[in-house]
């Protein structure tokens, strides 16, 4: 790591069948990536509750990535379609309450898109790095640590 460079903490929620496997392929292909993302494997993007993202921020994430199968590729036929609707609302809501869209990312990465995975994950990390630490959320996380009037 470069000296004094901000290293963002990224949580990536990925579906088991497409993106996790796509990331496996990136590994098998030895495609180098930045080391900031931690993947959390779930069966399907349909399983990803928007609140997971809030929990990720509460746990100190500077940015979040959600990724799954392309529409039509879903291992469970339609899980990602429901997820897509959910995210549309959630992303707008987050923006509306002041969470910069640069901290919340969505992508479709199939099991064959190892290269795309690398581009996505590196892109997210660099975008969040440019944004800097998520100080606003850090502040409300700390709100629990001081007595409130």
Smallest gap from residue 4 Cβ to another protein (A):
16
Closer CB to another protein, 3 or 145, in the complex: 145
Smallest gap from residue 129 Cβ to another protein (A):
15
Query: DSSP of 66-126, one letter per residue?
Result: EEEPPTTT-TTSSHHHHHHHHHHHHHHHHHHTT--GGGEEEEE--TT-HHHHHHHHHHHHH
Q: Does 26 engage in binding with another protein (CB under 8 A)? A: yes
Smallest gap from residue 36 Cβ to another protein (A):
9
Smallest gap from residue 6 Cβ to another protein (A):
14
Q: Does 8 engage in binding with another protein (CB under 8 A)? A: no
Count of helix runs (H) and strand runs (E) in the chain = 5, 4
Closest CA relative to residue 56, chosen from 37, 30, 71: 37
How many residues make contact with another protein (CB under 8 A)?
84
Among 59, 126, 130, 132, binds another protein (CB under 8 A): 59
- Which residues, other chains included, contact 35 with Cβ-Cβ below 8 Å and sequence gap of 6+? none
Closer CB to another protein, 120 or 128, in the complex: 120
Q: Are 121 and 129 in contact (CB under 8 A)?
A: no
Residues 88-147 that bind another protein (CB under 8 A): 88-101, 105-108, 118, 120, 123, 136, 139-141, 143-147
């Amino acid at each position: 790591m470069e000296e004094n460079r901000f290293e963002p903490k990224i949580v990536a929620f990925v579906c088991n069948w497409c993106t996790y496997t796509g990331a496996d392929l990136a590994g098998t292909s030895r495609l180098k990536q930045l080391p900031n993302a931690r993947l959390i494997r779930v069966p399907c993007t349909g399983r990803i509750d928007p609140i997971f993202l809030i929990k990720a921020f509460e746990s100190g994430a500077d940015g979040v990535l959600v990724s799954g199968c392309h529409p039509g590729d879903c291992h469970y036929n339609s899980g990602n379609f429901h997820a897509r609707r959910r995210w549309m609302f959630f992303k707008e809501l987050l923006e509306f309450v002041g969470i910069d869209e640069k901290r919340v990312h969505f992508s479709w990465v199939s099991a064959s898109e190892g290269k795309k995975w690398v581009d996505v994950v590196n892109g997210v990390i660099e975008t969040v790095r440019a944004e800097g630490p998520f100080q606003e959320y850090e502040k409300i996380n700390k709100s629990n640590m001081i007595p409130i009037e």
